[in-house]
Structure 1
Amino acid sequence: MLSLLLASFGTGAAADDAAQIERGRYLVQIAGCGDCHTPGHFLGQPDMDRFLGGSDVGFEVPGVGVVYGPNLTPDTATGLGGWSADEIVAAIRTRARPDGRGLVPVMPWPNLGTLTDGDAYAIAAYLQSLDPVSNKVPGPIPEGEAAPSFVMRVIPPAG
């Protein structure tokens, strides 16, 4: 009887984990995370085998330089593999990266900062569940230095 009870707890936890990961997948999709974090997206041919593996097109941001959407997969060398769920949630909400560097203004963190705890941790769980993609994106490239690939310019309004 005890083994049946313990087995049911394991099944419930796995179902809860699967539901959380599915919620995270849904949120990543509707937030458009793949747009800035998937190779080929901005060139009209997203490489879905490397979904969320980091962009190959940079953003030129005045006062910052050129930045590339980083690899969000759990690859330890080039992605978020060394980040905890708490660190991923902090980056989503506050721009705070574990290395002290802030996320750039292109990242819609003010909107993402309003996520519930459940939704923010669902995104973290989903990102941690992905297959790792080894893809080191360039940058950041300081202002005035040449970028190694296509770049989109973020131009602030005049005035």
Structure 2
Amino acid sequence: MYRLAFAAAIALASLSATGHADTKRGEYLVTIMDCGGCHTPGQMLGKPDHSRFVAGGDVGFQIPNVGIFYPPNLTPDPETGLGKWSKADIIKAVTKGERPDGRVLAPVMPWHSYGRLNPQDADSLASYLKSLKPVSNKVPAIAAPHDKPASPYLTVIIP
């Protein structure tokens, strides 16, 4: 009985350490992939709001004849962020460019490059995003090509 309890304690300690290590790896990946560069309010205006890290960008990207897209909230807020997304949903979006509703992500999201993440790193990235404090921050809606945008945007010109 004692051996079984000891083995269970070791297994739980190992699991906790792995989870922490995965989250730390995810934080590292979010940093080097510069998710905050687009998804943090104020970042693209030179005044990042670090209290709302990856809670959604306030500067969009205009793709001619397609529309203006604003970087979404990546925190686990259930109403304005990824709170209703599973880790598998996040991994699919980051690596395959597809949202749970089937919509393809805007072409400015570099999911083609992120699609090269190995499965462990993709899982760590999703684990980290799910571990963040939820931040309620509704980003501006996608604007169709002839709609008036709600916030500033950059224009992507395709040669």
Give the TM-score band, short-chain normalised: over 0.9
Aligned to 1:13: 15
Q: CA deviation at 1:3?
A: 2.7
Aligned to 2:61: 59
Q: Structure 2 regions of 5+ residues with no counterpart?
A: none
Return the match for 1:102 from 104, 125, 129.
104
Aligned to 1:129: 131
Aligned-partner Cα distance in 2 for 1:62–1:112: 24
Tell me if 1:40 matches 2:42.
yes
Aligned residues: 157
Q: What letter matches 2:88 in structure 1? A: D
Q: CA deviation at 1:5?
A: 2.4
Q: CA deviation at 1:33?
A: 0.5
Q: CA deviation at 1:78?
A: 0.4
Aligned to 2:157: 155
Q: CA deviation at 1:9?
A: 1.4
Tell me if 1:114 matches 2:107.
no
Q: CA RMSD in A?
A: 0.9
Q: What letter matches 1:16 in structure 2? A: T
Return the match for 1:78 from 61, 64, 80.
80
Q: What letter matches 2:58 in structure 1? A: D
Q: CA deviation at 1:76?
A: 0.4
Q: Percent identity?
A: 49
TM-score (norm 2): 0.96
Aligned-partner Cα distance in 2 for 1:104–1:149: 17
Q: What letter matches 1:79 in structure 2? A: G
Q: Residue deviations 1:39-69, cap 9 Å, x none?
A: 0001101111000000011111123201100
Aligned-partner Cα distance in 1 for 2:66–2:123: 29
Q: What letter matches 1:9 in structure 2? A: A
Q: Structure 1 regions of 5+ residues with no counterpart?
A: none
Helix, strand or coil at the partner of 1:8 = helix
Q: Displaced runs of 4+ in structure 1, greater than 6 A?
A: none
Aligned-partner Cα distance in 1 for 2:21–2:74: 20
TM-score (norm 1): 0.96
Aligned-partner Cα distance in 1 for 2:47–2:5: 51
